[in-house]
Structure 1
Amino acid sequence: MSSTYGKIFKIATFGESHGAAIGVVVEGCPAGVTFDLAFIQQELDRRKPGQSRITTQRREADTVQVLSGVFEEKTTGTPISMVIWNEDQRSKDYSHIADQYRPSHADFTYQTKYGVRDYRGGGRSSARETAARVAAGALAKLVLADLGVTVQGYVSQVGKLKLEKEYHELDLSLTDSNAVRCPDPVMAQEMFDFIDAIRKQGDSIGGIVSCVLKGVPVGWGEPVFDKLHAELGKAMLSINAVKGFEYGSGFAGVELLGSEHNDAFYTDEDGRVRTRTNHSGGIQGGISNGEDIFFNVAFKPVATIMQEQESVNREGEKILVQGKGRHDPCVLPRAVPIVEAMAALVLVDFYLRDRTIRHK
């Protein structure tokens, strides 16, 4: 089972939803990075359950414990190990699906592939694993901060409720001011009320998390197979419940003529080569061009719903299955820091790779 990501800045996550703990080992982090534990905990707090009535009510502090790789608040260049202990498991909530396959979950595929599965909260397939990614991604953000690079995600759509403004027309500092993590307060309230109504129906809803990367210099990314946008796409599609990824003009770009879509170059007052438009989304030829990188990540409705659904059990017999326990009616608010974390991991890895390719 692949649980690693990265070429130089590498992470390996471990643990299950209802096991003793989840965690991550980060290898390849440069020595001397200021290790801001409070910031890492802050990022985990943005992802943790129980934040509002429109998220799962599982009560986990998600307090991170650092086991290695840090001395006197600096990284040492050795593997950094972080662990988050599980404290509020209710495994009995899942005993009824020990031999059942929940619709659109990984139950059937895991059972068939491995011959065994941990049905408690989905085991390794649970989105709880992403807490380990957020811890590693927070460390990556600290590296990027020293380079002047920022990563900002936000909820831009829930169901058919969609922000019509582009990211540069929004005040992204408002993103964390509400439970939905939408930077438009009016739309955020509409989204909250909609998600809450869906929750009361025992159903779920999906949407889109948008993300913008600022300050990325020219040159990050590799031609051919390791294009920057390809790695961002892979990273995003590795997140639970993600069904789509687009960057720059995305699918809307097919409606434009080449003369409309091309980003014309010019030289600004500081002598930098810039583009007058940014349909490319900050990436050309798989390599960053110095403009803002922006992309959208589509999340499906959460698979576990509190309604009866038709399914089969391990013997192939027809059954009705219904969700129990504590689940998100919409994953988007808690997905924002996960999207940011994976983007930060991609960027730091390419930053370190870029340092190895030229003599001067």
Structure 2
Amino acid sequence: MVFHRKGGGWLALVLAAGCGEEPQAPQIGTNQVTNGSFELKLSGWWSNADVEDGTVEVLPEAADTGALGLALTKGTGGWGIVVGQDTAPHTAGQTYHVHARIRGKAGGERVSISFHGQGFEVEAGKQWRTVERLVYLPGDSKDFSAMIANTTDHSTVYVDDVAFAPTQVAQGEADKHRDNLMHNGSFESGLGMWSFWSGSDGQGSTSFDARHSGYAGLVLSLGGEGGGASVKQALPEPVRAGEVYRVEARVRGALGGETVSLCLQINEEPWDGPCLPFTATSKWTHVSGKVAIEEPLDDQRLGLVLSLFGEGTVQVDDVIVVRVNP
């Protein structure tokens, strides 16, 4: 998916071929932050230097476009050097499109971007790069801030052309399921609410071509080094022994024969829990099964973990978890 800016707004264009009626691309609204290009210096922005020798400056050499840009310099200690801006409250289940131009002075700097308590981290390079993500906001929050932070010691990050805009996205089958405990189960809002992990050379992303329903789906891939590639999302409520859950997803392998599992996994060591293993085929398969909480858990927090084991690539869409008994 490629986003383009036109005037004061954003347009999303699809770079994919397909037949039949295609779902509507994400419709991006008005930027919610003011002075996102820092031409008015730090007007509208606040800063928090929870570090030693940290500085927040607006400089000509920090600009990608225009005359000025933001420079975040972190010394040592603390979490990061932060700028932020308070924006209007959101509604539960809303998606926002985040855009920024970022460059590191040396390259390799870690930059944290968040909106109303949901966010992600990226790595800056020596050249300007565009950072674009869809951020899903599951519920109400007392945090209405848009924030950008440099979290790498002894480094400087340059930032320009910042936008946080409400976005309308298509709904897939999982999003329309009333009892689904997963947020963004159809991956219409990118990997919002999902955490990606890989022990080696795995990759996780979303793509128009990976959709079974809606606009997008998940792509998990793993190279020859193995180790597994996973996405995970915590259930909204703790579970108890004796509960039964139905877990389902739509899965397609690039070649067929890829090994995949869906697990309800405890969110602490030893990371165990009931699993639903299966082998992907080259056509979309509806994987569904029931898993029981047999351990003597009491208000224990679990998450759904979807994993690819062994070299290969799979597409996943419409992940659903439903409690089938009280």
TM-score with structure 1 length normalisation? 0.26
Which fold has the larger relative contact order, with Cα–Cα distance below 8 Å and residues 6 or more apart in sequence?
Answer: 1
TM-score with structure 2 length normalisation? 0.28
Structure number with the higher strand fraction is: 2
